[in-house]
Amino acid sequence: MALDPQVIPLLAQLEEAGFPDPREASLEDLRAAAVFPPPEVPTPVAAVEELAVPGPAGTIPVRFYRPEGPGPHPLVLFFHGGGWVVGDLDSHDETVRRLCAGSGAAFASVAYRLAPEAPFPAPLEDCYAAVAWAAENGGGLGIDATRLAVAGDSAGGNLAAALCLLARERGGPMIAHQVLAYPVTGADFDTGSYRDHGEGLFLTRTMMQWFWDQYVPDPADRADPLAAPLAGDARDLPPATILTAEYDPLRDEGAAYARHLQAAGVSVSYRDFPGMIHGFLGMTGVLGQAEAAQAWLCDRLREALAC
């Protein structure tokens, strides 16, 4: 399918606004450029609370979103995208609000440490600490700790997938479901989707190579399944919901991970959104398919977690 007609003016706007070349810009400028203005009226949820969770290198900021209705609620731990380098709780606030309100699950958005200051596996260890804390302390938040899920987009999808591997390796916590939006699952920059869509469509091959250099500086370490989940043993992992975008350089590795899980006997719901680009999930109000994708994820979460 051709690019969705709504994407074309969006790409023009992104081109006009410009995004610093990560190879030349300072980290401060790069992170500032990744901040998009919030909507004038954020999607309402029952309550939002700022938490500080113990982590391996100090406290981890976590933003907790409570849905309407009586608890205990299932909990989804959300890990934001941004190449492990940019992004924060605010960059994905509206997306998390919409998923919380639409699914009926509580959400906890995790501000893990960022590379290059904290390279692999530091961000993953922060995410694991947050999930372990939630499993042990969720009762005080009105959470049903037997219904924990993890979710993330792009690099956050990488962390969510890797976390499932790590939790299996360490014997818990038990994760009931994983939601991966156009996840990074490997460091192969020569897939068909990288060749076809690696330039001019928001996320580029050059950007992803640079992000990998910050997160896992030693290429030899990129064979570790906790960095590249596609290299891991997928047996006994949680059921998964995976979405990709047709015009995303990460499309093929997301689709490959869906097949990888299915081949190991893991239940997978997979959907590729035609005409879409990387990052579209958070572009509600601009891209109609963003709302459709969020609605699909909410349906999957309700089904998986009995919300």
- Catalytic residue ranges: 154, 248, 278
Cα–Cα distances in Å, from 306 out to 56, 68, 142, 300, 302? Answer: 32, 15, 16, 10, 5
Helices (H), 81-182: 93-103, 122-137, 155-170
**CB neighbours (10 Å) of residue 274?**
13
Number of helices (H), then strands (E), belonging to the chain: the values are: 9, 8
**CB neighbours (10 Å) of residue 92?**
24
Sign of CA dihedral 265, 166, 279, 143: positive
Q: How far apart are the first and last CA of the chain?
A: 35
DSSP 57-103: TEEEEEEEEEPSS-SPEEEEEEE--STTTS--TTTTHHHHHHHHHHH
- Closest by alpha carbon to 271, among 302, 304, 294? 294
CB 79 within 8 A of CB 110: yes
Residue 146 DSSP SS3: strand
